[in-house]
Amino acid sequence: MTRLFDKVIVRKPSKSLGSCVSPYVSRFPVDFPKALDQYRELIKILKSEGIEIIELEPLDKYPDSVFVQDEAVIGNRSKRALLSYFGEPSRRGEEEPLLDLLRSEGFTVERIRPPGTLEGGDVVVTDRGVVFVGKTVRTNEEGINQFIKFFASEDIRFVVVPSDRFIHISAGVRYLEDNYIVLASGTADPKYFEGFKIITLRENLSPVKAESGARAYLLYIGERKVILPPGNDRFAEELKKYGFEAIFLDFTEFWKCNGSYMCLIQPFYNFL
């Protein structure tokens, strides 16, 4: 079975990471050497699974730029890529280095135009001809309309999912494969995911339980393998019932910046 992606862009953490936009970092300061180790371990796992890595140098001007997922949405099948216009003003500009890179890779590249806002963390791509787009505090209706127009295709259905639970819908909605979706309880009405096999998540997968409610901090990397934070053995066992294998990886330093594994990669989506 074709994976959702076989190639990703990543960006090394900046030394300014501790100045990220986050409600947690004032209480839980970032340990930068530890963040580097966690980042490198993720890269090691991805490479071991045969995923091609394009690694960018850090952008010290932008503390959140390690979360490269938000900077664009890349359709590997269509050879089209759309640069974000951030809903978070402090991040505007960090997407610019992707322009020349993606053009050199043969992509037609456009960008979201204001007043539209769209961040990549609000896009959940599946292998079933369905793309979910979150309408959130970071992504507005105008941005969603531009996104759908840009990637419009006869064999893709776009589903807009409103949610005020997270800054990005992907914190509560994660597609695996074989029609399975992990849906964190309280993220959005399950009606939006009709036709999919929902695995309801009722627990907080965060490495530090400083927040309430279920949170789907996980990354599906294909071959029925799911990266999870340590200490979530019960959910790992539940995933096993559906034929998925858990790989445990600490990401505490990126959680402090309100991010997770999925935020650290910019996939080249094979079904977009």
Catalytic residues: 168, 263
Q: How many CB atoms lie within 10 A of CB 15?
A: 13
Convert 147-180 to b/e letters by CB count within 10 Å (16 or more is b).
beebbeeeebebebbebebbbbbbbbbbbbbeeb
Upper half-sphere CA count for residue 5 (Cβ side, 13 Å): 26
Q: What percent of the chain is helix, strand and coil (3-state, nearest 5)?
A: 25, 25, 45
* Alpha-carbon separation of residue 135 from 2, 45, 90, 145, 237 (angstroms): 28, 32, 20, 11, 32
Upper half-sphere CA count for residue 90 (Cβ side, 13 Å): 10
